Structure 1
Amino acid sequence: MAQEALTALLDAAHAARGGLLARLHAESTDAYRLFHGSVEGESGLTVDRYGELLLVQSFHRTLEPAAVEAIESFYRSRIAGLKLVYNDRSAKNSRIGNPLSAEAMAIATTPVIAREMGVKYQIQARHDGQDPWLFLDLRAARRRVMAEAAGQSIKSLLNVFAYTCGVGVAAAKAGADFVVNVDFSETALKVGKDNAALNELPQRLRFIKSDAFAAMRQYSGIGQPQRVRGKPMPPFPKLEPRAFDLVFLDPPRYAKSPFGVVDLVNDYPALFKPALLCTAEGGTLVCCNNVAQVEREAWLDQLERSARKAGRPIREAEWIVPEADFPSRDGKHPLKMLLLRV
């Protein structure tokens, strides 16, 4: 794409966000998507702001140096002080493939602080993983969880597949007294611990390195077998049964577990049932599904049937929609978020 055409797309996207950015800045938020290429004219290209970091990522094809320069020049004229890092993720498995100069790598590997609704998050453009440490399209869900915590309707929260624990930190910041974050990555949990300290919240959060099924089965009282398919189970942290006011379930599309597989297309109920049984009677369960091909109404129907079968029918269901920096042509966002009263 010619530089002039790309600049025109960036300009249109920036103009469309004028009111949104003013509202976000007013609530102490400087982390948001500036360009959502799949809808705004250049599929596979995203531009995100995290504090002073401008993170440019391409998923379909490598950007030419002139295009990167055009992006940097455009946003330099709109938002002072941003430092650009470009991650080319167009190779297989979305791995970051492009080398950086020593100066650019220093910027990419130095943590910066981004703010969202007054909560501070540590962000690093390049690290051992490939995804950003804070998923911006999940802001709407973090906002809702914070509202629930601030309104005292939740005091305890279980955050499963917590990654860097953004939801848990936000809930604790808003007033939740007891927050448990479960993830199998020690590295991701370390970021969550740093964010808890950054927000002066370490006493309110617990971090558990564990398989999600193992944690949920123990909290729900289901228990777990010593052997699965003839193989002994690996050791997991011992957890006492406990019901939570809110359970937040944000699994990856597909992952293997000693208990089977995480499969958001074919078997979401395998995750949903233990999460539901960890939720207190009259509590709240927030479920996420980031697979674009999954139709949201069919998914909700699947969850309603699973809940009835488990003897915990859904009393109320509410869709949480990504905010306006993630526009959609037809309202069918790839990320689907459901708040369920159970």
Structure 2
Amino acid sequence: MQALLDAIANLPIPTDAQRVFHGRGGMHPGCEQWTLDAFPPVWVLTSFQPATDAELAAIDAALKARWAELNPGVPLNWVYQYRFEARAETRLMAGSVPEPHVVSENGARFAVHLLRGLNHGFFLDMAEGRRWVRAQMAARPRQKVLNLFAYTCSFSVVALLGGARQVTNMDMADGALAIGKRNHLLNGINGGAGFLPHDIFASWGKITRGGPYDLVVLDPPSYQKGSFVAEKDYARLMRRLPDLLAPGGHALLCLNSPKLGVAFLQDQMQTLAPGLQFVERLPNPPAFVDVSADRALKVLVYKAPD
């Protein structure tokens, strides 16, 4: 655990939401269970194995000592989450969590919820994907975007901030889309976005009629019982891409599964959508460095023929 304590001792004052320690990447032997994130003004410590009271006490002391150096007299706010399988136990360890709680990334604002649920409403590892989407929209404004598995619609927000003409957000979780609508309002976006709380696999007619699209974003869960299993369901998305994309349009394929490498996506794309050209794999944020590129988040860009 020493690498985590050393990282805490050198923490900066965060402004944007970001990861500051990524033990899961395997770069810090003995710390594989730990991650530490900043959701200003709150720190979130996550463990993927049970933590002892002594470990939590040591981390608490380290956080308090560093925070007293950075912000004398300002209360420390931190949350601990223990993740196991598809569940999580979360508890407030010190201070408080704002309600509502809004964080920023590159000037965009997003609502988060740290004390309920497995996820917090905003995935920090997708920062480069959001940067790429915003840059693509700025380079050629007025594009039409399809955002599948939209969750809380961060891709939609940055696309519209970048200059997109229209974004269609689709996700089965109506509650997540409700947060997505709020995220648009937080950024002064009052139009241009549609929100469809539908099962994607039962809605291809509606999706196709809304096209073609200049950009299709695919960011599904790697495993969600009853709705999506990457090994068998990702192919069902890939084979639709040629009919959804406008000439010269792009597809952004995302996969966050340590069990499935880059070849899983590239081999199937070669078979199911051979007309689409592989452009690049986007880098992950530096904080998410991993001993295995195949195990880390994969974000691939493909392009339809002109």
**C-alpha displacement of 1:315:** 2.6
Alpha carbons of 1:37 and 1:190: their partners in 2 closer, same or farther (altered >3 Å)? same
Q: Which residue of 2 aligns with 1:83?
A: 77
- Per the alignment, residue 19 of structure 2 pairs with 33
Paired residue type of 1:213 = F
User: 2 CA distance for matches of 1:33 and 1:251?
Assistant: 21
Please report how far the alpha carbon of residue 75 of structure 1 lies from its aligned counterpart in structure 2 after TM superposition. Answer: 4.5
Asked whether the 8 Å contact 2:141–2:162 carries over to 1, the reply is no
Output aligned runs, 1:88-237, within 5 Å: 88-89=82-83, 91-93=84-86, 95-100=87-92, 107-108=96-97, 110-127=99-116, 129-152=117-140, 155-220=143-208
Moved more, 160-169 or 209-218: 209-218
Aligned partner of 2:247 in structure 1 is 281
d(CA) in 2 for partners of 1:5, 1:294: 28
In the alignment, the residues of structure 2 paired with residue 144 and residue 34 of structure 1 have an alpha-carbon distance, to the nearest angstrom, of: 22
1:245 and 2:231 correspond: no
User: What per-residue deviation string (whole Å, max 9, x for no partner) do you get for residues 130-170 of structure 1?
Assistant: 11211011111000000001111661111100111111111
CA-to-partner distance for each residue in 1:183-220, whole Å, 9 max, x for gaps?
A: 11111111111110010102121111111123344322
Q: Distance in 2 between matches of 1:147 and 1:341?
A: 16
Name the aligned partner's letter for residue 70 of structure 1: A
* 1:306 is the counterpart of 2:272: yes
Aligned to 2:6: 8
In the alignment, is the contact (CA less than 8 A) between 2:156 and 2:169 conserved in 1? yes
Given that 1:317 and 1:339 are in contact with CA atoms closer than 8 Å, whether structure 2 keeps it comes out as yes
Does structure 2 retain, via aligned residues, the 8 Å contact 1:185–1:209?
yes
- Name 1:339's counterpart in structure 2: 301
Give the whole-Å Cα distance in 2 for the aligned partners of 1:110 and 1:159.
Answer: 28
3-state SS of paired residue (1:281): strand
What do residues 252-282 of structure 1 show as CA deviations (whole Å, max 9, x unaligned)?
112356xxx5221244211222244222121
Distance 1:73 1:184, change over 3 A: same
Q: Distance in 2 between matches of 1:265 and 1:335?
A: 16
User: Which deviations, in whole Å up to 9, do the C-alpha atoms of 1:51-88 show, x marking residues without a partner?
Assistant: 21211111112252313413422551565455211122
Residue of structure 1 aligned with 2:34, choices 16, 28, 45:
45
User: Deviations 1:7-35 (Å, cap 9, x if unpaired)?
Assistant: 225447x5xxx8xx9xxx8xxx6111011
When residues 296 and 46 of structure 1 are mapped into structure 2, their CA distance, relative to the original with a 3 A threshold, is: same
Q: Tell me, which stretches of 5 or more residues in structure 1 are unaligned?
A: 221-239
Change (3 A) 1:84 1:100: closer
- Which region of structure 1 is more displaced relative to structure 2, 267-276 or 316-325? 267-276
Deviation at 1:331, TM superposition (A): 3.4
SS in 2 for 1:96: strand
2:229 match: 263
Q: Percent identity, aligned pairs only?
A: 29
SS for the counterpart of 1:132 is: coil
C-alpha root-mean-square deviation of aligned residues, in Å?
2.5
1: distance between equivalents of 2:136 and 2:298? 19
SS in 1 for 2:18: strand
Which whole-Å deviations, capped at 9, do the CAs of 1:270-301 have from their partners, x for residues lacking one?
Answer: 12222442221210000011111212134212
User: What are the superposed Cα offsets for residues 198-252 of structure 1, whole Å, 9 maximum, x if unpaired?
Assistant: 10102121111111123344322xxxxxxxxxxxxxxxxxxx4421110100011
Aligned: 1:326 with 2:277: no
Counterpart code for 2:6 = A
Paired amino acid for 1:97: E
Task: Report if the CA contact (8 A) 1:44-1:60 is conserved.
Answer: yes
Question: Is 2:64 the counterpart of 1:73?
Answer: yes
The answer to whether the aligner puts 1:58 opposite 2:47 as a matched pair is yes
Give 3-state SS (helix, strand or coil) of 2:301's partner: strand
CA deviation digits over 1:95-130, x for unaligned, max 9? 2225547x86xx347232211111011112123x31
Taking structure 1 as reference, are residues 197 and 75 closer, same or farther at Cα in structure 2, changes over 3 Å only?
farther
Pair 180,5 (structure 1): closer, same or farther in 2 beyond 3 Å: closer
Code of the aligned partner of 2:156: G
